[in-house]
Amino acid sequence: MSSDNGVFSVSLTFQRGIYSLHNRYIKELYFIEDICSFCVTGKLTFIDVQGIIEFGPLVGDEKITIVYGNDNTIVKTFKIYKIFDIE
């Protein structure tokens, strides 16, 4: 995790490579781990200033990796199954 990203970093893994999102362009990010649900759900909303739509493309088969924590670094990787909206 680079020092300019603060206490968390987010990256998207495409077939063509890995794209790191800068924290200042992330508008909303959360994930929910519910013991009553079979899967983890979440939401990522960001401003695309570097052309990720062209780099990807976002088709719903990508992975999101979130690294967070101060002392104990926690790494969570999620597979994207559905993209609701691209504006």
Domain ranges of the chain: 3-79
Distance from C-alpha of 20 to C-alpha of 52, rounded to nearest angstrom: 10
- Distance of alpha carbon 35 from alpha carbon 53, whole angstroms: 34
pLDDT along the chain (87 residues), means of 10: 60 86 90 87 86 74 87 84 70
Supply the pLDDT for residue 49.
86
